[in-house]
Amino acid sequence: MSTGTPALEHLARAKIPHRVHRYEAPPLGGRGPARGERASYGEAAAAALNIPTSQMFKSLAVGLEPAPAPQVASGARRESAGIVLLPVDREANLKLVARAFGARSASLLDSAAVTRITGYVVGGVSPFGTKRQLPVVADESLLSTPRIFLSAGQRGWAIELAGDDLVRELRAVVAPVVAQG
C-alpha cells in the first residue's frame, strides 16, 4: 500500500514517528517578488506552514570529489554524491560540507543530476527514499531544533519529525556546514 512518496514509504517502513503537512508550493521556476531571484521552495514552505525558517530544512544534493586514497579506509566506499541538510534561510559553505563528508571538495549538483541521483525534483528532494542510500550531513543547528520540517519528496508536502530520529535513521553526520555572514 503506497503512502504517497518514496520518502513517506521509507518512514512508514522504519516506523519513524512523523507528521505530513500539505501546503501550496510556489510555481516551478517562479521568481521571488522582491529580489527577482528564483523562488525559494523552502522559504515558501515555511511561510505556508507558518513556522520559522530555522525549523524548515532544505535537502541539497552535492557532488563530492573523494579525498586522496590514503585518507579513505581500505574497503571504504568512495561516494560521489551526498545530501546536506540545513535551514532554508541559510547557505551552505561548500568547504565545510566537503570536510564533513571527508571529501576533497563538494559542489551543488544541477537539477538534472539531482533528479538522476535522488529520484526527486528540485524543491522536493528528501533525504529519505532516494534511489540509492546517499550519505547525509546535517547542519549542527538540527540538534537544537526539537521538531524539524523537510520535504516529503514532492513539492507541496513536508514531513515534521524529531531531528534525532532523522540522524539515527540516516546515520547522518552532524557538523557545521552553514556559511557565516
The per-residue pLDDT for range 83-114, each reduced to its tens digit, is 999 999 999 999 999 999 999 999 999 999 99
The pLDDT of residue 1 is above 90: no
- The mean per-residue pLDDT over the stretch 10-14 comes to 96
Q: What is the pLDDT of residues 146-181, one digit of tens each?
A: 899 999 999 999 999 999 999 999 999 999 999 986
d(CA 59, CA 86): 7
pLDDT at 31: 46
For the ranges 39-43, 72-76, 163-167, the maximum mean pLDDT occurs at 163-167
pTM, two decimals, is 0.87
Count Cβ atoms below 10 Å from residue 9 Cβ, excluding itself. 16
Question: For the chain, which domains are there?
Answer: 6-70+78-175 (3.90.960.10)
The pLDDT of residue 2 is above 80: no
Which residues are paired to 57 by β-bridges?
A: 87
